[in-house]
Structure 1
Amino acid sequence: MTAHAKSVRNKMFRMRALYLMLLLPVVHLAVFHYAPMYGVIVAFKAYKPGLGIWDSPWNQMAHFRMMFEDFAFLRALRNTFIISFLRLIVGFVLPIGFALLINEVIHHRFKRLIQSISYLPHFLSWVIIASMVVEVFSPERGVINYLIVQFGGDPVHFLSNKGYFVPLLILTDAWKEVGWASIIYLASISAISPELYEAAEADGANRWHKMRFITLPSLVPVITILFLLRLGSILSGGFDQVLNLYNPLVYEVGDIIDTYVYRVGLEQFRFDYSAAVGLFKNVVGVVFLVTVNQIVRRRSDYGVW
């Protein structure tokens, strides 16, 4: 055994506790994420439950051709892009702004209180939040419609109105996740050297100048990486949220690929076709991630890899 191999073995032995801790998540990843990937083959099969995946006949890419001939899929694809991009813009910008504002709060107890309150919605499931949204925006008993009526207006069916449904999705998602998403930015801000701020103060910089010329530029690497990771799930329009809030009246603007797959796969039992749609969604996400990462790497030193 070479000296290098002995050194690696000794280092691994010294860190054996860390490797044991790493074993459980690796096993979980292998069993629940990689092992089921063999089922992707069903997307290329005319699946028959009696024959199983392997013995079902090949479909000659029929499901992928069928996707682009299906009006419901094309509508879901359009809606997914619209909702995902809006969620990306609003849900990505707000946590940065919120972290910058929280960082400017001087009173530490008030700062911790605001942070704790902003984190809480993240830990609530969309089932609970959807129930709250339905009650708040209810045309009969909701507080929003109560105020509208008090000011002389007519009750609005927000969750059944195509013009209000998507903005409601974006706002409720931002409310739920803005506090939690700001944690990593706050952690990055806390790692900025205080000497930079002290030097800026000596040069006469105010709080706005320090935020603009020190804090924001220091966050660029983190912002870039998180943005790239979000692009990898660009076609994930928020299945739990949409499923708990939408209804047939807003399918035209609210039906996304995930809910489309849910209806086709689990309600209509077209497992092979729904697998093809899911595979298409993931491939598009990977293409987005790789393409944008290469563009970013050419123009800067930041990237996922």
Structure 2
Amino acid sequence: MGRVKKNKYKKLMIHNWRLYVLMLPALIWLIIFAYYPMYGLLISFKDYKGSLGILGSPWATPIWKHFSAFFSTSIAKNVIVNTVVLSILTILFSFPIPIIFALLLNQIQGKRKRKLVQTISYAPYFVSNVVVVSIMNVICAPSGFVNTIIQQFIGRPLLLMSSAEYFRTMYIVSNIWQTMGFSAIVYIAALTGISPEYHEAAIMDGATKFQRILHVDIPLIMPTIIIMLILALGNIMTVGYEKVYLMQAGTNTQVSEIISTYVYKVGLQNAQYSFATAVGFFNALVNFVILVIANQITKKTSDISIF
């Protein structure tokens, strides 16, 4: 039985060899940039010294030395809470927007108009975070465009970019603007794959556009939405350091210091490589556990999962 199955897979691979060749560059990239760097995780269990290399460096005593050192610091709780809160708020406000945008875009009549709107919407995704934060600093300055409008209502400017109370709002709003169009692509593709027969049948039953969105479009793209939500939850502890680091100021670090910025400062600026790797490893491990839990919950409740 095993030999028959093995021969079956062999014939299938020979028949589809062109597809495997096309997949090869992506597989090589994955091995080099995703799997090979895992070798560096050994640093988190060692007292790493650059002159000795990873294998030559002595093991930490005890082996969990750098992990316990992180949790014993006064900043550990703060950076974990900041990371989780910022990530959850980003998911709550940023995740539904691309879905709504894709549903609305799908209602635009005319292929040229739809492509124009889509191109304009995902263009900000390719703008550098440095440029985005620079624009925010200009338009949100005390004498900038945004504060000019705010002063008309409250009579004074707000310190939007340096105040701790506005940091998360500014991050989420800029993130929505930057990623909305690009994140909607997968939902637009899912909507494109819906058979017109469903809509034709709904129209024959007298359904309005809103009813067709509610009872045809959303249920049929729900598997895609659930899979994207699982992946988003699996990255709940991962917030990119670039924009957060650029938005940091001395007056907002109590809410803006997250795990990725802390790892950057400790690892690269202070050269504490073992300690920083241990913090990053803890971050990745929590993400993996959350991903597995979210996947199992959706698998049991909706029979949809990524594995």
Report if TM-score (shorter chain) is over 0.5.
yes
Distance 1:195 1:57, change over 3 A: closer
For 1:1-305, list aligned pairs within 5 A.
8-54=9-55, 55-60=57-62, 61-140=64-143, 142-149=144-151, 153-305=155-307
2: CA distance between counterparts of 1:219 and 1:16? 32
Task: Tell me whether 183-192 or 168-177 shows the greater mean CA deviation.
Answer: 183-192
Shift of 1:8: 4.4
- Conservation of the 8 A alpha-carbon contact between 1:73 and 1:260: no
Distance 1:68-1:7 versus aligned 2 partners, 3 A rule:
closer
- Letter paired with 1:23: L
Secondary structure of the 2:176 match is helix
- Which AA in structure 1 matches 2:190? S
Return the offset for 1:40: 0.6
Taking only the aligned residue pairs, the percentage that are identical comes to 34
Letter in 2 for 1:83: L
Whole-Å separation in 2 of the counterparts to 1:115 and 1:202: 30
1:134 CA drift (Å): 1.1
Shift of 1:10: 4.6
Q: Say whether the 8 Å CA contact 1:79–1:254 is kept in structure 2.
A: yes
Q: Return the letter of the residue paired with 2:39.
A: Y
3-state SS in 2 of match to 1:160: coil
Compared with structure 1, are the counterparts of its residues 105 and 6 closer, same or farther at alpha carbon in structure 2 (3 Å cutoff)? same
Out of 201-210 and 251-260, give the one that drifted further. Answer: 201-210
Paired AA for residue 28 in structure 1:
W
Normalising by structure 2, we get a TM-score of: 0.92
Determine if contact 1:67/1:74 at 8 Å carries over to the other structure.
no
Give the whole-Å Cα distance in 1 for the aligned partners of 2:5 and 2:73: 59
Secondary structure of the residue aligned to 1:303 is: coil
Rounded to whole Å, the distance in 2 between the matches of 1:107 and 1:6 is 50
Deviation of residue 203 (structure 1)?
Answer: 1.5
Unaligned runs of 5+ in 1: none
Structure-2 change in CA distance of 1:50 and 1:230 (3 Å):
same
- Report the CA distance shift for 1:114/1:53 in structure 2 as closer, same or farther (over 3 A): same
Tell me, in whole angstroms, the C-alpha distance in 1 between the residues paired with 2:151 and 2:92: 33
Query: C-alpha distance in 2, partners of 1:19/1:88?
Result: 35
Question: d(CA) in 2 for partners of 1:79 and 1:126?
Answer: 20
Cα distance per residue 1:83-117 (max 9 Å; x no partner): 10011111110001111111122244332221111
Give, as a single letter, the amino acid of the residue that structure 1 aligns with 2:78: R
| Deviates most, 274-283 or 121-130 | 121-130
Question: TM-score when scaled to structure 1?
Answer: 0.93
CA distance in 2, matches of 1:233, 1:159: 26
Q: Which amino acid aligns with 2:96?
A: V
Q: What SS does the corresponding residue of 1:158 show, helix, strand or coil?
A: coil
